[in-house]
Amino acid sequence: MKSKKLLLVAFILGLGLFLAACGGATEEEGNETNTEKNDETTSEAGNAADYKVAMVTDYGGVDDKSFNQSSWEGIQAWGEENGLEKGVNYDYAQSTEKADYMPNLTRFVRDEYNLILGIGFELKEDLQTAAEQYPDTNFALVDDIVDAPNAASITFREEQGSFLVGVAAAMKTNTNKVGFVGGMRSPLIDKFESGFVAGVKSVNPDIEVDVQYAESFADPAKGKLIAANMYDNGVDIIYHASGGTGNGVFNQAKDVKQNDPEREIFVIGVDRDQYDEGAIGNHNVTLTSMVKRVDVAVQDVINRGVNGEFPGGEQLVYGIEEDAITIASTNEEAMTEDIISAVEEWEAKILNGEVEAPATPDELETFLESL
Amino acid sequence: MSNKVFNIIVPVISVILGLIAGAIIMLLSGHNPISGYAALWNGAFGDSYTIGETVRRITPLMLTGLAIAFAFRTGLFNIGAEGQVIVGWLAAVCVGLYIDAPMYIHLPLAIIAGALAGALWAFVPGILKAKLGVHEVIVTIMMNYIALYSVNEIIRTVLTDGETTSATIAPTASLASEWLQSITFYSRIHYGFLIALFAAVLMWFIIDRTSIGYELKSVGFNPHASKYAGMNVNRNIVLSLVISGSFAGLAGVMEGLGTYGNISVMGGFTNLGFDGIAVALLGANNPLGVVLAAILFGTLKEGAGEMPTSAGVPTELVDIIIALIILFVASGYIIRWAILRFKKEEK
């Protein structure tokens, strides 16, 4: 009886101590952040060790097997190259919802990072606001355009890469039916869709392209459902441009392959080489991937910043020419020489300007009429 | 001890247990719980900017919490707060975009439009429940998806031409305040928190001080007895959901007119409505309790952002703590039993 009471007292005391300890530490740290606020200006030329880079992910998270991860790999590579430390010279902040973007960006500004990257068009408005509020910090946005003298816009010519994987899909399909799974209908994903459809139809105008949107970049269940429908309807190759949703497409393709190893079905990956995602037993369902070297672009921008040549206010466009858009040929079994040479042929046409890959639905319409 | 005392003690103990469990998890995973919680505190109240952002985050949570608590008091489970938030957001932004009026007309009009949209969205499950006996949980869940996808399509086709974000609302409809922002270092704090607090008072007034509230509560306790006593049960079900929906709609207004000033295509739910369920549960469906619970959850969620950068603790830890708090509240019976055992042995 008494011992129980004692236990309760001990418990409450312990709790009090614990809370008091918390309170104490808090105060100290609070003071620290307050005194740290001095107005050191950015973009002094030269030393990478004096340069601090941070990125804010969209709600896909840093391990999305897609462009957030690729950006982070770019920053990490830059950090390792210069012998820098994570958390001191470079860092990332994950956003779990839209409301997190602004506090995440602001936190890095206040921690005196020189360059803050926003990954994904989702961050456009918030990054724009932040760039206007903090003119002494440099910002860069991946995948969309910001308009501020201290912010650079990093965009890619996804339509070029999508065009080429469209060519590969058209060469590979046996059923003359291919599919496209988009994340959210938006000007960005329009580039993927238009480029892909144009690529397919350039090889064979009779091939049917089934276009579906999941309305989310983070819903694998939805991706799986759409892929299941497509494969049931005779589609044999699906190109996805849907971030995490695409993991569901891969899962469905692997399920189908497991049940029926003879059936020739494929997925075309996006952003990174998704060869590893497609492995199932001795097979691999990843035909190829439209690789968008966000890491290359990110490192390029960082290095320019370190050298005091930050491209503020500029719109940087990375395409095949800059080696920032490539087509993976990791799956040697599926990507036969015929296909590779066809892809190279069209790549040359894009490079010399003979073919202009369409980037919007309107451009696609004119492109298809001209075929 | 009376029920009232338990209603206060159980959530408080749950919160403390949740925080202790969080500390233990941090210890087990090799982090320092003191620096973890210090980072959490700094992330929420470290300086004027974070305080402003914390208030901003609390505001809509308060309203969705009130929405769900209000329906609960009538024995209804409004899982549709999420959808009501989204339509409220859209309606408020539409009024903000397309109507031209001086502020003293424009702003109230936009706020009312958002509340009405939320009310309308809740009216559908209400009328289906009242007339056909369809369970409101099923209908409200489905209405969430209808709201999400329809609003996305409206943004793309009506508000813009294939873009993902609408234009910014006219300043005459904005809740944002330059003065508040200037004292909080450009945080996105806005006057909406006054509306949220007013809504809490309004809920208390309706529930505890009017005959309508008495009827609503009574239907919640026992619909059959209420019917026998001559109350119109069906009317009260619809009324309760409509009031609940307008609170949730107001939460959308906070986002549309306050935080963002526009509306974007959403890749998934805002989670405001779902978090509101937790807020209502922790707040014991009492307006004051909901206000306090929203402050707690808003603080935890806002502070979480600081944890990975300054203490190396992943933000997911806060989700675990919140989940544990809810678990403890839900198993309040055990806490009640434990306290009673202690009391009994004392005698």
Decide: A290 and A158 in contact? Cβ < 8 Å. yes
* B contacts of A91 (beta carbons < 8 Å): 309
User: What is A243-309 written as a DSSP string?
Assistant: TTHHHHHHHHHHHHHHH-TTS--EEEEEES--GGGGEETTEE-EEEEEEE-HHHHHHHHHHHHHTT-
Q: Which pLDDT does position A42 carry in this prediction?
A: 40
Confidence class of residue A59 from pLDDT cuts 50, 70 and 90?
Answer: confident
Confidence class of residue B330 from pLDDT cuts 50, 70 and 90?
Answer: confident
C-alpha span between B119 and A343 (Å, rounded)? 56
**Which tokens go with A216?**
């989310």
* A336 φ, ψ (degrees, to nearest 5): -70, 170
* A contacts of B53 (beta carbons < 8 Å): 102-103
Residue matched to tokens 């004292």: B183
Q: Is B164 on the interface with A (CB under 8 A)?
A: yes
Tens of pLDDT, residues A107-132? 999 999 999 999 999 999 999 999 99
* A contacts of B346 (beta carbons < 8 Å): 1, 5
Give the closest of B23, B38, B165 to A125, CB-based. B165
Give the closest of A107, A110, A185 to B305, CB-based. A107
Phi-psi region of B8 (alpha: psi -120 to 50; beta: other; left: phi over 0): alpha
Q: Is B23 on the interface with A (CB under 8 A)?
A: yes
Element at A116 (helix H, strand E): strand A115-119
User: What b/e string do you get for A315-350 counting C-beta neighbours within 10 Å, with b at 16 or more?
Assistant: ebebbbeeebbbbbbbbeebbeeebbebbeebbeeb
C-alpha span between B327 and B282 (Å, rounded)? 10
Q: Which pLDDT does position B192 carry in this prediction?
A: 96
Q: Which pLDDT does position A44 carry in this prediction?
A: 42
Q: Cβ separation of B267 and A183 shorter than 8 Å? A: yes
Confidence class of residue B324 from pLDDT cuts 50, 70 and 90?
Answer: very high
Tens of pLDDT, residues A234-292? 999 999 999 889 999 999 999 999 999 999 999 999 998 999 999 998 899 999 999 99
Decide: A163 and A195 in contact? Cβ < 8 Å. yes
How many Å lie between the alpha carbon of B11 and the closest alpha carbon of chain A?
Answer: 17
Q: Is the pLDDT of residue A23 over 80?
A: no
Q: Is the pLDDT of residue A327 over 50?
A: yes
Percent of chain A with pLDDT over 90: 77
Residue B33 CA, chain-centre distance (Å), reads 28
* A contacts of B156 (beta carbons < 8 Å): 185
Give the closest of B39, B163, B315 to A187, CB-based. B163
Decide: B120 and B139 in contact? Cβ < 8 Å. no
Query: What radius of gyration do chain A's Cα atoms show?
Result: 24
Q: Which pLDDT does position A8 carry in this prediction?
A: 56
Q: Any idea what the Cα angle at residue A359 is, between residues A357 and A365, rounded to 5°?
A: 85
Q: Which pLDDT does position A48 carry in this prediction?
A: 84
Give the closest of B49, B264, B268 to A106, CB-based. B49
C-alpha span between B347 and B329 (Å, rounded)? 27
Average of per-residue pLDDT values in chain B: 93
Q: What average pLDDT score do residues B195-217 get?
A: 96
Could you say which residues from 54 to 73 on chain B have a Cβ atom under 8 Å away from some Cβ of chain A? 57
Q: Which pLDDT does position A5 carry in this prediction?
A: 59
Burial of A145 from C-beta contacts in 10 A (0-12 / 13-18 / 19+): middle
Confidence class of residue A97 from pLDDT cuts 50, 70 and 90?
Answer: confident
Q: Is B24 on the interface with A (CB under 8 A)?
A: no
Q: Is the pLDDT of residue A194 over 50?
A: yes
Tens of pLDDT, residues B235-291? 999 999 999 999 999 999 999 999 999 999 998 899 999 999 999 999 999 999 999
C-alpha span between B35 and B43 (Å, rounded)? 12
The ranges assigned to domains in chain B are 60-291
Q: Which pLDDT does position A46 carry in this prediction?
A: 64
Q: Is A82 on the interface with B (CB under 8 A)?
A: no
Mind listing the domains of chain A with CATH numbers?
48-156 (3.40.50.2300), 158-292+336-370 (3.40.50.2300)
Q: What average pLDDT score do residues A363-367 get?
A: 95
Mutation to test the B interface, candidates A97, A217, A222, most B Cβ within 10 Å: A97
Q: Is the pLDDT of residue A2 over 80?
A: no
A364, amino acid identity: L
C-alpha span between B307 and B318 (Å, rounded)? 9
Q: Is the pLDDT of residue B311 over 50?
A: yes
Residue A124's Cβ-side half-sphere holds a number of Cα atoms within 13 Å equal to 20
Q: Which pLDDT does position A65 carry in this prediction?
A: 78
Q: Is the pLDDT of residue A9 over 60?
A: no
Q: Is B35 on the interface with A (CB under 8 A)?
A: yes
Q: Cβ separation of B47 and A217 shorter than 8 Å? A: no
Least-confidence region, from A27-31, A256-260, B105-109? A27-31
**Between chain A and chain B, how many beta carbons pairs sit less than 8 Å apart?**
104
B4, amino acid identity: K
Partners of A182 in the β-ladder: A213, A241
* B contacts of A26 (beta carbons < 8 Å): 37-38, 41-42
Interface predicted TM-score of the whole assembly (ipTM), two decimals: 0.83
Tens of pLDDT, residues B51-88? 999 999 999 999 999 999 999 999 999 999 999 999 99
How many Å lie between the alpha carbon of A308 and the closest alpha carbon of chain B?
Answer: 26
Residue B330 CA, chain-centre distance (Å), reads 18
Q: Which pLDDT does position B315 carry in this prediction?
A: 85
Residue A20 CA, chain-centre distance (Å), reads 43
Element at B273 (helix H, strand E): helix B272-282
Q: What average pLDDT score do residues B8-30 get?
A: 93
Q: What average pLDDT score do residues B109-126 get?
A: 97
